[in-house]
Structure 1
């Protein structure tokens, strides 16, 4: 039995139709990945959180567990220098302004 195919009607549709489908793969770069470190909700032994999330912000910044949420430590090396004590005052967390 032949499969029915929808005909591409414009240039963009034909280009998409001609592309080879790519495999979906997770990304990992050296020892840096887009995952969360233990300590966000529970500890290694399923106990209470041994490491408050506020202290993980600096871990995320230097090891890029949170690539989309914290600044790049190469481009903004002094990001945490002016933030004060994140543990006590996380509401005033430093931000990086959008550049145009």
Structure 2
């Protein structure tokens, strides 16, 4: 049950400047284009609307961030939920999903 004065955790997908340098190359470098397309289609907004997250002391991530990371991980070929932690360690993924820490 949500109260009117309770704070919600909002989620908006981040964007990344697309440029090539060997210093910032990651395994999932093509994911930024896919994430932009998902954002353009409004899927991130719909996840945020369908699954609002109320802020509590222990909540670090919104439900939309977790579902978005599962969506992007499955598009990148991560077939086990256990490996999503390694997936969210990637600098590009954490920047696209605006994760304060990796999902453990």
Q: TM-score, normalised by structure 1?
A: 0.26
Q: Please say which structure displays the higher CA radius of gyration.
A: 1
Which has more helix, going by share of residues?
2
